Structure 1
Amino acid sequence: MKKLLLPLAVASALAGCGGGETLEDVKNETPTVVPQSTVVFDPGAGEISVPNDLLLSGTTDGTLNIPGEGDDYTNPQLALGALDGWSTQMPYAIDFDFSPGVSLDATSAATPGNVRIFEVVMGADQSSQTCAQVPAGIACEYVKELNFGVDFITQASGNSVAVVPLKPFTQGRSYITVLTNGLTDSAGNAIAPSSTYASVSSEDPLVTEQQLSLQAVINSYEDVIVGGSDLSKDDIIYSAAMTMQSAGEVLGTIKSLLAASLTQDSLPKPEMMIPQQPALTVGQVFAAQGMQDINPAFNAVSYEKGSIVLPYYLKSPQGKELSDLNNTYWQANCDSAVTVLGYKEQAGEAFPEQPVSENDAICAALSGGQLRDLSLDDKRHLTKYNTIPKVQSYRNIPVQVTKPADLMTLNAIRSQLGLDAMSMPAAGWPVVIMQHGITSRKEDMLALTAALSIQGFATVAIDHPAHGERGIDVDNDGTDDFNATTGSVLAYMNLNSLLVARDNLRQSAADLLGLRLGLNFANDPMLNTMDVGFVGHSLGAVVAPAFLSMTNAELDPQVDPLFKVNTVALGSGGGGIANFLLASDSFGPFIQGSVLAGAGTDESAAFGAFLQEGAVSSCAQFLDNQEAYVGCGYQAFLAQLTAQGDTASLANIQGLLTQFTYAAQTLLDAGDPTNYAMRVNAQQTPVYTSVVVGDGMENKPDTVIPPMVESNPIAGTIPLAMMMGADNAAQTQLADSPQSYLVRFSKGHHGTLLTPAANPQAGASAADSAAANAEMQQQVATYLKSKGTILPITNEDVIAQ
Structure 2
Amino acid sequence: MKLNHNKKNHSFIGVLFCLIFFLSGCEEGGLSGNPTIGNLSPDIQSNLGGKTRVNFVLSGPEEFLPLPSFIIQDAIDGTINAPREFASSIELDNAYLGLSSLDGWGLSSYIFVEFLGTGFGPEQRRVDRGFYLYELDRSMEEGSPVLTRIPAEAYTRGQNLVIQPLQVLKPKTDYFYAITNEILDEGGNPISSIQAYATLAGGVTLGLGERLNRVSSIIRKLNQSMFDINSEVDLSNVVFSMAYTTQSIGETTEHTKLAIVKGLERGGLERIWKGASNPRNVDLSDAYKMEFGTTTDFLRYVRRDTNFETYVDIDDEGLKERLVEAYGLLNTIGNPNIPIINLFNLRTQLNITPGTIKLPYFLETIPDKIPLTPFERATPNLATVRYILERGELEDKAAVTKQLVKAGIDMSQLATLEDDNEALLKLMGLEMVLDNGEPIETIVTEKAAYGGIGAAQSTVKVVTRYNPIPKIKALEDVKFLLFTPKKFNPNKPVKLIIFQHPITASKEAAMAIAPRFVGLPTLPPVIGNLVAAISAIPGVSEIIGLLSGQGNDLTWLRGNDENIALIAIDHPLHGDRCISDEQCTSEEPTLYLNLQAFPVGRDNFRQSTFDNLGLRLGLALAQEKRELDGTPLENLEDLAVNPPSLVSHSFGGVNATHTAVYGNKSLGGELGELYDDRFSFSKLALANTGSQVPLILINSEEYQSLVKHIVAATLSAGYQKFIEDNPLACGDEKDVAKCYDEFEKQAGNNADLAAVATEVEGSFDLFGIAAQTSLDNIDPVTITGITDEDGNKVLDGLPIYLQEVASDNTKPTNIDFAPFAGSRALAKSLGMNIVDQNSPTALVGNMPFALPQGDRNFVKYEGVADHLTFIGAQSSPDDEPHSGHMQTTVLEFLIRDDHSFDGVPTQYLQE
Normalising by structure 2, we get a TM-score of 0.73
For 1:437, the equivalent position in structure 2 comes to 502
Residues 1:501 and 2:591 aligned together: no
Deviation readout 1:383-435 (Å, 9 max, x if unpaired): 1122111111111111211223324xxxxxxxxxxxxxx6553xx31211101
CA shift, 1:777, in A, is: 0.9
Query: Are the structure 2 counterparts of residues 204 and 48 from structure 1 closer, same or farther at C-alpha, using a change threshold of 3 Å?
Result: closer
CA distance in 1: counterparts of 2:131 and 2:17, whole angstroms: 16
Name the stretch that deviates more: 158-167 or 768-777: 158-167
For 1:795, the equivalent position in structure 2 comes to 905
Query: Are the structure 2 counterparts of residues 19 and 311 from structure 1 closer, same or farther at C-alpha, using a change threshold of 3 Å?
Result: same
Q: Secondary structure at the match of 1:326?
A: helix
CA distance in 1: counterparts of 2:697 and 2:126, whole angstroms: 29
For 1:410, the equivalent position in structure 2 comes to none
* 8 Å CA contact retained: 1:82, 1:381: yes
CA distance in 2: counterparts of 1:327 and 1:385, whole angstroms: 21
CA distance in 1: counterparts of 2:664 and 2:100, whole angstroms: 31
Query: Are the structure 2 counterparts of residues 798 and 105 from structure 1 closer, same or farther at C-alpha, using a change threshold of 3 Å?
Result: closer
CA distance in 2: counterparts of 1:86 and 1:351, whole angstroms: 29
For 1:313, the equivalent position in structure 2 comes to 362
Deviation readout 1:650-679 (Å, 9 max, x if unpaired): 123223433333322222222332321333
Q: Secondary structure at the match of 1:400?
A: strand
CA distance in 1: counterparts of 2:404 and 2:198, whole angstroms: 50
For 1:464, the equivalent position in structure 2 comes to 571
Query: Are the structure 2 counterparts of residues 263 and 7 from structure 1 closer, same or farther at C-alpha, using a change threshold of 3 Å?
Result: closer
CA distance in 1: counterparts of 2:814 and 2:181, whole angstroms: 34
- Matches of residues 185-224 of structure 1 in structure 2 within 5 Å? 191-202=191-202, 205-210=205-210, 211-224=212-225
- Matches of residues 745-784 of structure 1 in structure 2 within 5 Å? 745-758=862-875, 766-784=876-894
Name the stretch that deviates more: 388-397 or 163-172: 163-172
> How big is the alpha-carbon RMSD for the aligned residues of Structure 1 and Structure 2?
3.4
* 8 Å CA contact retained: 1:120, 1:139: no
Of 330, 349, 352, the match for 1:297? 330
Query: Are the structure 2 counterparts of residues 62 and 11 from structure 1 closer, same or farther at C-alpha, using a change threshold of 3 Å?
Result: farther
Name the stretch that deviates more: 82-91 or 455-464: 82-91
* 8 Å CA contact retained: 2:112, 2:769: no
For 1:180, the equivalent position in structure 2 comes to 180
Name the stretch that deviates more: 522-531 or 727-736: 727-736
CA shift, 1:754, in A, is: 1.4
CA shift, 1:306, in A, is: 2.0
* 8 Å CA contact retained: 1:745, 1:800: yes
Query: Are the structure 2 counterparts of residues 753 and 207 from structure 1 closer, same or farther at C-alpha, using a change threshold of 3 Å?
Result: same
Query: Are the structure 2 counterparts of residues 633 and 161 from structure 1 closer, same or farther at C-alpha, using a change threshold of 3 Å?
Result: closer
Query: Are the structure 2 counterparts of residues 109 and 287 from structure 1 closer, same or farther at C-alpha, using a change threshold of 3 Å?
Result: closer
CA distance in 2: counterparts of 1:318 and 1:186, whole angstroms: 50
Unaligned ranges ≥5, structure 1:
13-17, 124-130, 408-421, 474-479, 617-622, 694-700, 759-765
Residues 1:571 and 2:687 aligned together: yes
CA distance in 2: counterparts of 1:598 and 1:189, whole angstroms: 33
Query: Are the structure 2 counterparts of residues 634 and 250 from structure 1 closer, same or farther at C-alpha, using a change threshold of 3 Å?
Result: same
For 2:146, the equivalent position in structure 1 comes to 142
CA distance in 2: counterparts of 1:596 and 1:222, whole angstroms: 37
CA distance in 2: counterparts of 1:396 and 1:40, whole angstroms: 52
CA shift, 1:159, in A, is: 4.5
Query: Are the structure 2 counterparts of residues 571 and 602 from structure 1 closer, same or farther at C-alpha, using a change threshold of 3 Å?
Result: same
For 1:551, the equivalent position in structure 2 comes to 663
Of 402, 406, 431, the match for 1:373? 431
Residues 1:329 and 2:343 aligned together: no
CA distance in 1: counterparts of 2:405 and 2:718, whole angstroms: 53
CA shift, 1:511, in A, is: 0.9
Query: Are the structure 2 counterparts of residues 251 and 787 from structure 1 closer, same or farther at C-alpha, using a change threshold of 3 Å?
Result: farther
* 8 Å CA contact retained: 1:283, 1:296: no
Deviation readout 1:608-634 (Å, 9 max, x if unpaired): 552x33456xxxxxx6xx43x212232
Unaligned ranges ≥5, structure 2:
1-15, 270-283, 306-319, 332-347, 411-416, 433-438, 442-456, 522-559, 629-633, 787-792, 840-848
For 1:703, the equivalent position in structure 2 comes to 809
CA shift, 1:141, in A, is: 2.2
* 8 Å CA contact retained: 1:687, 1:739: yes
Q: Secondary structure at the match of 2:815?
A: coil
Residues 1:483 and 2:528 aligned together: no
Deviation readout 1:580-620 (Å, 9 max, x if unpaired): 1122222222222233334473422431552x33456xxxx
For 2:260, the equivalent position in structure 1 comes to 258
Percent identical: 22
Q: Secondary structure at the match of 1:242?
A: strand
Query: Are the structure 2 counterparts of residues 121 and 72 from structure 1 closer, same or farther at C-alpha, using a change threshold of 3 Å?
Result: farther
Query: Are the structure 2 counterparts of residues 608 and 261 from structure 1 closer, same or farther at C-alpha, using a change threshold of 3 Å?
Result: farther
Residues 1:662 and 2:789 aligned together: no
CA shift, 1:317, in A, is: 2.9
For 1:81, the equivalent position in structure 2 comes to 100
Query: Are the structure 2 counterparts of residues 651 and 526 from structure 1 closer, same or farther at C-alpha, using a change threshold of 3 Å?
Result: same
CA distance in 1: counterparts of 2:910 and 2:771, whole angstroms: 33
CA distance in 1: counterparts of 2:426 and 2:147, whole angstroms: 31
Give the letter for the 1:654 counterpart: E
* 8 Å CA contact retained: 1:441, 1:464: yes
For 1:412, the equivalent position in structure 2 comes to none
- Matches of residues 644-683 of structure 1 in structure 2 within 5 Å? 644-645=750-751, 646-679=753-786, 682-683=795-796
Name the stretch that deviates more: 347-356 or 571-580: 347-356
Of 548, 558, 562, the match for 2:678? 562
CA distance in 1: counterparts of 2:408 and 2:477, whole angstroms: 24
Query: Are the structure 2 counterparts of residues 711 and 146 from structure 1 closer, same or farther at C-alpha, using a change threshold of 3 Å?
Result: closer
CA shift, 1:786, in A, is: 2.2
Q: Secondary structure at the match of 1:728?
A: strand
CA shift, 1:251, in A, is: 1.3
* 8 Å CA contact retained: 2:665, 2:794: no
CA shift, 1:578, in A, is: 0.9
Deviation readout 1:677-716 (Å, 9 max, x if unpaired): 33377533221111110xxxxxxx1111111223523212
Of 662, 682, 701, the match for 1:585? 701
Of 248, 251, 256, the match for 2:250? 248
**Aligned length, in residue pairs:** 724
CA shift, 1:565, in A, is: 0.6
* 8 Å CA contact retained: 2:30, 2:58: no
* 8 Å CA contact retained: 1:104, 1:160: no
Give the letter for the 1:405 counterpart: K
CA distance in 2: counterparts of 1:186 and 1:752, whole angstroms: 45
Query: Are the structure 2 counterparts of residues 105 and 327 from structure 1 closer, same or farther at C-alpha, using a change threshold of 3 Å?
Result: closer
* 8 Å CA contact retained: 1:271, 1:520: no
For 1:698, the equivalent position in structure 2 comes to none
For 1:596, the equivalent position in structure 2 comes to 712
CA shift, 1:186, in A, is: 6.8
CA shift, 1:537, in A, is: 1.0
Q: Structure with the greater relative contact order (CA < 8 A, sep ≥ 6): 1 or 2?
A: 2
Query: Are the structure 2 counterparts of residues 238 and 649 from structure 1 closer, same or farther at C-alpha, using a change threshold of 3 Å?
Result: closer
Give the letter for the 1:194 counterpart: I
For 2:69, the equivalent position in structure 1 comes to 52
- Matches of residues 624-643 of structure 1 in structure 2 within 5 Å? 626-627=733-734, 629-643=735-749
* 8 Å CA contact retained: 1:109, 1:156: yes
Query: Are the structure 2 counterparts of residues 316 and 383 from structure 1 closer, same or farther at C-alpha, using a change threshold of 3 Å?
Result: same
CA distance in 1: counterparts of 2:890 and 2:685, whole angstroms: 6
Deviation readout 1:708-729 (Å, 9 max, x if unpaired): 2235232122212222222211
* 8 Å CA contact retained: 1:108, 1:182: no
Query: Are the structure 2 counterparts of residues 733 and 49 from structure 1 closer, same or farther at C-alpha, using a change threshold of 3 Å?
Result: same
For 2:453, the equivalent position in structure 1 comes to none
* 8 Å CA contact retained: 1:175, 1:241: yes
Query: Are the structure 2 counterparts of residues 139 and 757 from structure 1 closer, same or farther at C-alpha, using a change threshold of 3 Å?
Result: farther
* 8 Å CA contact retained: 1:340, 1:370: no
